[in-house]
């Protein structure tokens, strides 16, 4: 199970996805993570995505130089797009944007709250000349309410929604180690845009979408929220264990290797006791006879489990557990992920180098081969839309 094998084929290579937005034009004034991730998914679905960058470029270009001299964030998020630099304070650049939006199907942005409204670029005004246009803004906290003007970055919204409070160890809260709030919001914006396109197919009309990072995570927090409201306390932070199921968590195998197991019902517990531990007596032991008893006697249970697990190497245990129908996994490092036999790859070119990434979970990623240099398509895009801009 631990030897790398040839990367799996893309699950949906046969689905035909990747052409469903063929011919559609996306204009995206995007920076950092949330809107660029949405733009990436639109490109993967076959749309032409024009990434409009401020003079100096999307600041994610300068986040780091960690990936062969390129920005890890930027390389991940921007394959398959076209880049044009526009200074919206210049009338000619503003006219060019306006001309692009007359022909666009989708207008995406994650500028600061109010930045486009001040310039008159509201969905309502744009749909007067382009009725089918789907506009989508990404904000931190939405258009209304006392937080509407607050700046929002990924960590701040993780903290504000209480996600950090339920993540971490018994001792201390923690952030999720990836930009979960940005990514989830980009994914949500993508599905909202697809919904609006399906609606447009029925009505001919575009939609006015506004996706808030806070709203996305608040929905994901519904279980802790319900526990808090109805029990008067939040769920416990328990590291990599489970607050209310046992055995469920990390156990030690031979040679200091850890293994995660998850037992979800009595049938699985009996299978673990009899077929893996070779201890049918444990299945009927009153200390372990149902889940509540096992949670109450968690430590004694761990001692019994590790007495057996400690005699096996992890790979042998995984085979044994899998055979018995017990869910298990390794607590992998990032290095383990890099060599994981189940990892699917996509490759992009960025500047002078080629960089391997984990593939998108849907589609082929076939359109996403090139990460654009700053303003790489500027001259061509200006030429393409200049006549229309002059007329405008």
With H, G, I as helix, E, B as strand and everything else as coil, classify residue 134.
strand
Is 260 near a second copy (CB under 8 A)?
Answer: yes
- Cβ distance 208 to 135 under 8 Å? yes
Is residue 21 close enough to count as binding a second copy by CB under 8 A? Answer: yes
Which 150-179 residues touch a second copy, going by CB under 8 A? 150-153, 155-157, 159-169, 171-179
Figure out which of the listed residues 229, 255, 299, 391 binds a second copy, where binding follows CB under 8 A: 229
Q: How far is CA 135 from the centre of its chain?
A: 21
CB of 95 to a second copy, least distance (A): 28
Catalytic-labelled residue, pool 230, 242, 312, 340:
242
Whether 111 contacts 52, CB under 8 Å: no
| Residues 284-313 close enough to bind a second copy by CB under 8 A | none
Among 299, 333, 352, 391, interactor with a second copy by CB under 8 A: 333
DSSP 193: H
109 noted as active-site residue: no
Burial class (CB in 10 A: 0-12, 13-18, 19+), 329: exposed
- CB under 8 A: which stretch of 95-103, 199-207, 281-289, 299-307 binds a second copy? 199-207
The binder of a second copy chosen from 215, 304, 371, 372 (CB under 8 A)? 215
Candidates 29, 134, 37; CA nearest to 80 is 37
Q: Answer whether the bond into residue 247 is a cis peptide, omega within 30°.
A: yes
Which residues on neighbouring strands pair with residue 258, listed in sequence order? 252
- Any contact of residue 370 with a second copy (CB under 8 A)? no
Rule CB under 8 A: say whether 129 interacts with a second copy.
Answer: no
- Identify which of 302, 252, 294 has the alpha carbon closest to the alpha carbon of residue 269: 294
Window of 98-106, 274-282, 296-304, 340-348 that interacts with a second copy by CB under 8 A: 340-348
Is 325 one of the binding residues for a second copy (CB under 8 A)? yes
Q: How far apart are CA 357 and CA 323, in angstroms?
A: 32
Of the residues 115, 295, 296, 362, which one makes contact with a second copy according to CB under 8 A: 362
Cα(198)–Cα(212) distance, integer angstroms: 22
Q: How far apart are CA 288 and CA 371, in angstroms?
A: 55
Does 383 bind a second copy (CB under 8 A)? Our answer is no
Looking at residues 94 to 113 of the shown chain, list those that interact with a second copy (rule: CB under 8 A). Answer: none
Q: What minimum distance in Å lies between the beta carbon of 29 and a second copy? A: 18
User: Which positions are catalytic?
Assistant: 242
């Amino acid at each position: 199970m631990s030897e790398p094998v040839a990367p799996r084929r893309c699950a949906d290579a046969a689905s035909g996805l990747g052409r469903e937005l063929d011919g559609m034009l996306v204009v995206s004034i995007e920076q950092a993570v949330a809107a660029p991730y949405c733009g990436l998914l639109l490109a993967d679905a076959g749309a032409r995505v024009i990434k409009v960058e401020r003079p100096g470029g999307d600041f994610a270009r300068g986040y780091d130089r960690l990936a062969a001299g390129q920005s890890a964030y930027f390389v991940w998020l921007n394959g398959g797009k076209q880049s044009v630099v526009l200074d919206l304070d210049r009338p000619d650049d503003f006219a060019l944007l306006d001309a692009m939006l007359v022909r666009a199907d989708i207008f995406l942005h994650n500028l600061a709250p109010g930045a486009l409204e001040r310039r008159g670029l509201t969905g309502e005004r744009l749909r007067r000349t382009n009725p089918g246009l789907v506009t989508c803004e990404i904000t931190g906290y939405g258009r209304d309410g006392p937080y509407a003007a607050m700046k929002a970055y990924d960590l701040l919204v993780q903290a504000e929604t209480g996600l950090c409070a339920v993540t971490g160890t018994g001792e201390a809260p923690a952030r999720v180690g990836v930009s979960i709030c940005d990514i989830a919001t980009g994914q949500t914006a993508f599905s909202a845009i697809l919904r609006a396109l399906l609606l447009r197919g029925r009505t001919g009309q575009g939609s006015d979408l506004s996706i808030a990072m806070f709203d996305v995570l608040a929905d994901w927090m519904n279980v802790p929220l319900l526990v808090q409201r109805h029990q008067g306390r939040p769920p416990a932070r328990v590291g990599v264990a489970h607050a209310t199921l046992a055995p469920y968590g990390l156990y030690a195998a031979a040679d200091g290797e850890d293994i995660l197991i998850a037992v979800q019902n009595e049938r699985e517990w009996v299978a673990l006791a009899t077929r893996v531990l070779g201890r049918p007596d444990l299945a009927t032991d009153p200390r372990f006879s149902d889940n509540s008893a096992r949670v109450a006697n968690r430590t004694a249970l761990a001692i019994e489990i590790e007495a057996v697990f400690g005699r096996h190497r992890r790979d042998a245990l995984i085979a044994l557990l899998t055979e018995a129908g017990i869910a298990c996994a390794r607590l992998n490092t990032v290095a383990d992920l890099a060599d994981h036999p189940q990892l699917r790859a996509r490759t992009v070119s960025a500047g002078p180098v080629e960089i391997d990434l984990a593939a998108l979970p849907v589609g082929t990623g076939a359109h996403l081969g090139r990460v654009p240099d700053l303003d790489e398509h500027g001259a061509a895009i200006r030429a393409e839309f200049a006549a229309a801009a002059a007329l405008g």
